[in-house]
Chain A
Amino acid sequence: MGVALGRLVQWTAPGHGTRVLEKTPLNEAILKEIIMFAESFIYKHPQEAKYVFVEPLEWKTDLNPSAFESGYVVSATTVKSEESDENGQPLLFLSVPQIKVRSFGQLSCFLLIAKDTKLKEAQACIEGNRNPVAKILGLDYNTMKEESSILNILDKITKDNDTESEIKMKIAILLKQLDVNLLNHSLKCISLEIPLHPAAVKNDIELLKRFSGKGEQTVLESIKYTSDYEYPNGCRAPPWRQILGEICYVLVKPHDVETLCITCSEEGVFLNGGKTDDEEINYERKGVIYKDLVTCLKEKSAKFSENMSKQKTRFNEELQKEKNKPNETPKKEAPGALRKAIPGSDKTMLEKNQINFGKSNMIKRLEPSLNWKTTIDSKEYNVFRHRVSIHEERHGGRVEKSAPSVSAGKAQLIRKSGEKVEEIVSESSSESEEDEEPPDHRQEANADLPSEYWQIQKLVKYLKGGNQTATVIALCSMKDFNLAQETCQLAIRDVGGLEVLINLLDTDEVKCKIGSLKILKEISHNPQIRRNIVDLGGLPIMVNILDSPHKSLKCLAAETIANVAKFRRARWAVRHHGGITKLVALLDCAQNSAEPAQSSLYDARDVEVARCGALALWSCSKSYANKEAIRKAGGIPLLARLLKTSHENMLIPVVGTLQECASEENYRAAIKAERIIENLVKNLNSENEQLQEHCAMAIYQCAEDEETRDLVRMHGGLKPLATLLNNTDNKERLAAVTGAIWKCSISKENVTKFREYKAIETLVGLLTDQPEEVLVNVVGALGECCQEYENRVIVRKCGGIQPLVNLLVGINQALLVNVTKAVGACAVEPENMMIIDRLDGVRLLWSLLKNPHPDVKASAAWALCPCIQNAKDAGEMVRSFVGGLELVVNLLKSDNKEVLASVCAAITNIAKDQENLAVITDHGVVPLLSKLANTNNDKLRRHLAEAISCCCMWGRNRVAFGENKAVAPLVRYLKSNDANVHRATAQALYQLSEDADNCITMHENGAVKLLLHMVGSPDQDLQEAAAGCISNIRRLALATEKARYT
């Protein structure tokens, strides 16, 4: 209490008479706390309430004696309490207007009597008694140094062990507690009041930055400023916003909500309107003002507050360790009874206090005005120091446990966070090229620098300090350096040339812009430079240049964008600044065929503009969201039109873009609609390998669609594809071509054509010594082709089976799926099967059932079916695989529908062998199959029904299926729309109907009517099975009737 009153309470300036308390919210809050303490004292601590103060608390009261009731002796101007001390002095004595109170009990009563005016009374009391603690407990208690107080008190207690001093002691502790409480309380008030300071905000953000990044443990995904420029006063807001007290703007991406754009101002922290399209911030406030960033984020993101508390415990644990050390010694000396009394509340208070500090870093702000008790001070200071140490760790390279990105440099952090944003906005579809950030190695300061470095430095100096004439000369001269060489590229950056070059783009000087872009275009081939350009905000400027009336400028800007947009964040930036629409607009340039003569020296040809536009779109189209943006901007018809031209260097980016985009369903439809296939096919015949590759790739993407496959055939695309197979030097093109053949051969007519062109033989030849990308496609194509008898024969005759079986031992998942399918397709031919069996192919297939990937499992199981069907002595073969049957049965526990269907099909084939059926029955196939019965998947239903019907052939399996409740769901299969399901189900029901109980179940579930319907089917098998089933049911009914009447 003493400290709080002495230091915290705000007094009016000294000078005029007695000092009074200022009327401030803080004072009011403190008074209220004190009142609460005093009022409740009598209930909470009845014994201590009786303690008589060493000196009475005296003040002038406005309270009327008449207000006092029972328990008081009231006269006109005086009031005496009936309660008195040992000497008979009343504990409360009022002689208007002076009042003296000598115990907490009376103080409590008095405050209760005062009712509405208690605030005023409390104020008067505090004003009248500047040192209440001394009056209550005596001077010796007050003058004690705070740290040693406990020790001193202990001393006293041990010396004179009387009850009075013990009570005194307790009161002292209570008052101290109150004091701490008041400090805490006022701290909260102060923190609310004090305007945020740029340094504090910066500290907050830096701290959060350190604890953000990828992973679950971090508090945020990213946090970054909207502006990298910091004014000397520590603000980042533009000056005209600083006037309004705004300090900076931050983009925060929490784990669980969208990116927040937050304004930090002196008043507090609030959400603003976010970034608008043109890179501006909508400064308007959205929502309430929070006192600091952490509070704001806690409110907005549950994940943040959760992780924040985790971080905090960690944070506090360390603090605790430090804190506990010095405290340990005195504690040991303390007698047990006291130990209980002291630490509890006191310490938790302090801890809470610290948490507050950790959050808002207020130490600095508070230090000048308040002198904390040394204990608190040192702890607070620890918080501060701890933060500093985190700061330093970053440089030392020590990695924080929960903040993996701490050790990385700041630049990288910012970049990472940028990437995060991108990740959310658009997942790149083709990650093939550099998407990870390469380390940023700057030239060592003392390394031997090449002479170019100094020359470039000089030129950059002229760029900076020259007028446009000098600038143009410097630019032209810089262009003469070998800009493809990394030394020069990095030299330009390291001497600050990039900034100047990008700044030049923002001027009105066309010549300077052209010169600058010519250099940027070259050096942006370097991945690091690309990133630097994006970091320096080059993309928005270049995107703006796309609107320029000067075509050569547009070209250069588009080409540079094409180079820069090779990584995600850049592509995001292009789209974000409206670049896609503008680039698509460039494609439109080439439409007026009658080109005017070059009217200006700075004009390029329209075709060139379109080419550069396509080039940039090609780069951009590697992000999913950009594909969508291109489509929305109407890019597809324009690309289709450009595809009709015959310039190779135009066609490559156009086809490249289409090929990238064709991964999207929307595009494939549009490509079909725009008759693009025709031109793709035409360009397959081009001389240019790159163009051929991209065309084949585009066809590969599009040919998922049946109509497209037909279009490829109709436009004569199959022959060039088959021809291109013979050229195996260019592996990329080969992969694209084989891919196109694979997808095209899904259509039977195409397969016939391929056979005509002898493509099958060539494909078999490609089964060896090819990279996996090619193999996947070749095997895929063979898998499709081998659906036909002729091709199966061709594959065998060409010796294709051996290499196929050899590929079964691979690990590439896509390849395995295709290989198993191809082997399965070949196995349909008994002659092929002999070869496969000889090569132990079935065992290899069987072992693929253990592959972790469900696609491979399913594909292997499908492939096993024809193998079992066509193998000689299949039953023996199957049994020879140790643990094989158990493995298959256990696969019925899978949750992948395709795996289940394939395994059911395999079981159908296995169960055809009686001995094997007995084994799988022992492995519990019946309950497992029955469990699957409740499915809506027609494919699974069909194979399941077949498996059930085959499994009925053993022992009491029929009965077991009934017991496992497989019958009723099977009856429902008859309502499916799939004829295959009907046939399989009818057969299964026929088998099951051999058991009387099953017949009853079927009858109950209305099977008869459905089956009667099936009897009318044109499918003979179905007819037969349905009729058989009905007859079994009927026979049972007759037998029952007969039994009843006899």
Chain B
Amino acid sequence: IENKMSFLPQKEGKHPSRCPDNSAFKQQKLPAWKPQLTTATVLSTFFLTGAFCLSVGICLILSANSVREVQIDYSDRCSDCSKLRENSSNWNRECHCSVNFTLKEDILGDVFMYYGLENFYQNHRRYVISRSDAQLLGQNVNIEKSYCTPFTMYRNGTPMAPCGAIANSMFNDTIDLFYNLKSSVIQVPLLKTGNSWWTDKNVKFRNPKAYNLSSAFAGTARPPYWWKPVYLLDEEDERNNGYLNDDFIIWMRVSAFATFRNLYRRVHRIRQFADGLPAGNYTFHISYNFPVTKFKGRKHVILSTVVWSGGSNPFLGIAYVVSGAAATLTGFVITAIHLKLRKKKTYFQK
């Protein structure tokens, strides 16, 4: 009741005065900052950005130059194998080849091994959507409703695990690196885990829950182009097997362009390789399984170090230097114009 009473007089007292409120908002008089360009701020901004861009650019170029990279195209070097793979009926015949190369200088620091593909359209729409994220999460889903076609299930109704074109076409060359020290040949120790995104490995990819892996995938079959079922991808390491296999996870992250590289292995820094790869002769032993000639593609194997800005790419450094130079130049031009104007001003004043 009290509430009502307090309301009433207000209502009655309110005259229907149509005079608009004198509020700052309604009168469009809100306090506002009106940016004004002064010569000093403009010039200092240009010179500051110029200096910033130049210094960042120089840092980037310097560090990008310190990256050591060895890139070897082995699609031609193993011509026998590539011919063998052109005919798909030979799918079960193994083919090995080796590629020699020499390091003139030591490669110090962490060394990463990538495989690179050219003209492989991983970003084709039909290919990109051909996966089931729910299946890779370890859920028991009906993949028939997913976009995995035509790699969903076999004629007899057995679903593929993992399904889809991406998984089916997984890169399956194995590359080993050997160091030829005098007469002995030492295999360079390589790490096959820890190469994928942490969130992928620990959240986005899960094996179906079961007491062991092979039973988890019971009732499913490997994709048609695979040699072995998913639960045998890495028999040595339980935590790198099934959907959790690093090579598999990395492959499933679709590249942005048709020419791309994926992280394959890292050099394990022990013994002779504690500081990186020493100079000398090396051999790649490649088990050549992945056909590329059929789509006019190429394959590379890349050894590279990285710095704080990533792998070797001069673009960013150059772009920074160029824009820094442009900004500084503009600064100078504006100063010149300004001085000229001032001269004119004094001339007029006389």
The judgment on whether A and B are partners is no
Question: Residues on B close to A: CB < 8 A?
Answer: none
